[in-house]
Amino acid sequence: MKFGGGRLNEVFVNEPTEEEALETLKGKYGLECQKLEVLASGRVNRSFLATVSGSGERLVLQFLSPVFLKSPALGINWERVSGVMEGRGIPCPRIIRTLDASLLAEGEGHERLARLTTFVPGNRPRAGDPAGAKECGRALGAAHGALNLPRPLALEPLPRGGEYTNQRLSAASDFTDFHSLYRLHPKLPLIEAHLERGARLASELPRSPAFRKIFFLKDLVIHGDPKGDNFLGGESGYSLIDWDTVSYGDPLIDLAELCRSLAVGRERPLFNRELAAAVLEGYRETGLSLPESHYRQIAAAIRAVAVTLGRRYLRDALLENYFVWDRDKHPSRLEQDASRAWDLFDLAEELYLREMELLDL
């Protein structure tokens, strides 16, 4: 969906610069950098690949978006996860402590939060590749097994009020509430059509007790954001990175997000059944034992994730607080995020119409 009328006024977001990255590496970690590259992947955080002088070690420095809120849990949980994964022989980025032994580095005036991790080499899955989709499913299954068997890993709770998309089930009120939460925002009228569509799609989500439990039971450790960009393939298979949102939830939510990420294209039909089936096939080989009745809700879970992610993008459209903005494709951050929300609603609508066809996915 396009907005007419040219460029909108852009709210300035202070994107982290290479100079700030170099200062953080030296001041917080005591590291001199011989080479620094901006990593183009990721839409929320700003990431840099640093090659350390002398040792040649490559490390990833991430400046975290304000959507995460500041919490020690963002470092503590990642450190616990990497310890378990490494103990099982599963490649996983390891978080590096600052000079004062902190897991996260705070910038000047406590306005910036950064994290340094080891670098995991590899390539992201190719679009439309069933073999890659299956391997991603296997990697997700292996991670679920490592972090939950024989018992779920102990985690610190994520801060309340942060945006952790896959932790909730959207209701129509999540969209209508925009009118009270942002009633004075000058750009609210620009997303009215999006809010109306989102409210309708949310009202069409299943309300059965079995489906609602997927989002409300918090028993097992899940990644929280296993989209395709967070998988890196090497000689021994795919590795799962970016453990910002690791928390307790239902494994089906992770599977729904992975299917949403890998099995959706730009041409209709948007949803590719073959790719989603490949993800599930891979997961069944390595993952937790889920009942068949649970798997039958995967299509509806994908739809719910799409609606909820669309709501978050609409919130981001008004707040305009993401670091990453594709200036070549979108005149403003608002248009970027509103466009992504509209695309997600297209997916949710298609999945609703194909619900019976996808029951046996």
Q: How would you classify residue 212: left for phi > 0, otherwise alpha for psi between -120 and 50, otherwise beta?
A: alpha
283 Ramachandran zone, left/alpha/beta (phi>0; psi -120 to 50):
alpha
What 3-state DSSP class applies to 217? coil
What are the CA-CA distances from residue 222 to residues 145, 197, 252 (Å)? 10, 29, 9
| Per-residue pLDDT tens digits for 157-196 | 987 766 666 677 899 999 999 999 999 999 999 999 999 9
Please name the residues in contact with 276: beta carbons below 8 A apart, sequence gap of 6 or more: 133, 259, 262, 263, 298, 302, 361
Counts for the chain of helices (H) and strands (E), in that order: 12, 10
Given a cut of 80, is residue 102 above it in pLDDT?
Answer: yes
Q: Are 106 and 112 in contact (CB under 8 A)?
A: yes
Structure tokens given for 270: 């948007």
**Torsion angles phi and psi, residue 39, rounded to 5:** -85, 125
Q: In the chain, where do the E strands start and end?
A: 33-39, 46-52, 58-63, 95-96, 105-106, 113-118, 220-222, 231-234, 237-240, 247-249
Pair 211, 300: CB distance under 8 Å: yes
Reported confidence tier of residue 323, pLDDT bands at 50, 70, 90: low
Instruction: Identify the weakest region by mean pLDDT among 228-232, 269-273, 299-303, 319-323.
Output: 319-323
**pLDDT at residue 91, rounded to an integer:** 92
The overall average pLDDT reported for the chain is 90
| Whole-number Cα distances in Å, 15 to 7, 45, 170, 294 | 20, 10, 30, 42
State what percent of residues in the chain have pLDDT above 70. 90
Supply the pLDDT for residue 322: 64
Q: Which fold has domain 18-353?
A: Aminoglycoside 3'-phosphotransferase; Chain: A, domain 2 (3.90.1200)
Residue 249 has pLDDT above 90, yes or no: yes
**pLDDT for residue 10:** 40
User: pLDDT for 39-57, tens place per residue?
Assistant: 876 667 889 999 999 999 9
- pLDDT-derived band at 333, boundaries 50, 70, 90: confident
Owner of token pair 């996860």: 81
Q: How far apart are CA 15 and CA 67, in angstroms?
A: 14
